[in-house]
Structure 1
Amino acid sequence: MTAPQSETVDEPAELRAPARRPSVWHGQGPVVAVVAAGGALGASARYGASLLWPVRTGGFPWTTFGVNVVGCFVIGVFMVLITEVWAAHRLVRPFFGTGVLGGFTTFSTYAVDIQKLVDAGQPRTGLAYLAATLVAALTAVWLAVTAARRVLAWRRRR
């Protein structure tokens, strides 16, 4: 008995069906889902903060400033915990770091707040807000990382 022709004759590459690649969403679907869920939680928390502490028009946007600084502090502690203490599940970082804290902190609202201050005739306040947020956010991350590492070192010595 002879083998079917398709098994014995090589087809030119142009005539072969392309190999099926796995869908990009197959491996990344869970990551996208946890980032979206975390982002919804973080953005909701930020919105809640804006309702609890509204800012008057033309005034310094203390709520967004505070949210961004607190979020930066939390990301500093979180990164120490998941890189130096805890072998976290692969979805923890995207959920909490990218999703929750990414949705909670907000560069877009920060930029809009600066534009609103300039448009309201408060360019100095806008510039102060721009600089203060940058300095405070970076300081918050540094303080959080430093404090978390010191607490860990202290606990390890005990």
Structure 2
Amino acid sequence: MIRTIAVIALGGSLGALARFGLTQWIAANWSRSFPLATFAVNLIGCLIIGILYGLWLHRPEFSPLLRQGLFIGFLGAFTTFSTFSLDTLRLLENGESLTALGYILLSVCICLIATWAGLSLTR
């Protein structure tokens, strides 16, 4: 258990630093009229989780510790949108289109409402 926690913490640290570095680089080089940094982080995270998940499906001998460090740690800190996208894709692949649509709508709408509610509580 201690090794798992350490691997996730290391991955999380690296993911947070990668997100910070990419965000700073984009902010210094592009206009801020569109949230390009967040979009780029989410897009890159989704690409990475797709690649890693595909590798894991075809090579199940990959270390569970490595998978946890990358999925939960690195990508969890880099972006949680990648996990949301993978969960949705898996629902679609399992033929659960209605559940996937509900998950998308609930996640976006309820999270926006929760963000608004949290902000409202501080005003």
TM-score by length of 2: 0.59
Q: Kindly provide the amino acid, as one letter, of the partner of residue 53 in structure 1.
A: I
- The aligned residue for residue 42 of structure 1 is 15
CA distance in 1, matches of 2:60, 2:67: 11
Name the Cα RMSD after superposition. Answer: 2.4
TM-score by length of 1: 0.47
- Asked if structure 2 preserves the Cα contact closer than 8 Å seen for 1:75 and 1:101, the reply is yes
Identity %: 37
> Could you give the per-residue CA deviations for residues 19-58 of structure 1, whole angstroms, max 9, x where no partner exists?
xxxxxxxxx211111101000001100000111011766x
- The aligned residue for residue 105 of structure 2 is none
Q: Please, which of 58, 62, 66 is the counterpart of residue 84 of structure 1?
A: 58
CA distance in 1, matches of 2:40, 2:25: 13
How far the C-alpha of 1:103 sits from its partner, in A, is 1.1
Unaligned ranges ≥5, structure 1: 1-27, 108-136, 143-158
Q: Secondary structure at the match of 2:64?
A: coil
> Could you give the per-residue CA deviations for residues 85-130 of structure 1, whole angstroms, max 9, x where no partner exists?
24111201111111111111156xxxxxxxxxxxxxxxxxxxxxxx
Q: Kindly provide the amino acid, as one letter, of the partner of residue 10 in structure 2.
A: A
Q: What are the residue-to-residue correspondences of 1:114-125 with 2, within 5 Å? A: none
Aligned length: 84
Q: Kindly provide the amino acid, as one letter, of the partner of residue 66 in structure 1.
A: A
How far the C-alpha of 1:71 sits from its partner, in A, is 0.3
- The aligned residue for residue 146 of structure 1 is none
- The aligned residue for residue 42 of structure 2 is 68
Q: Kindly provide the amino acid, as one letter, of the partner of residue 69 in structure 2.
A: F
How far the C-alpha of 1:62 sits from its partner, in A, is 0.5
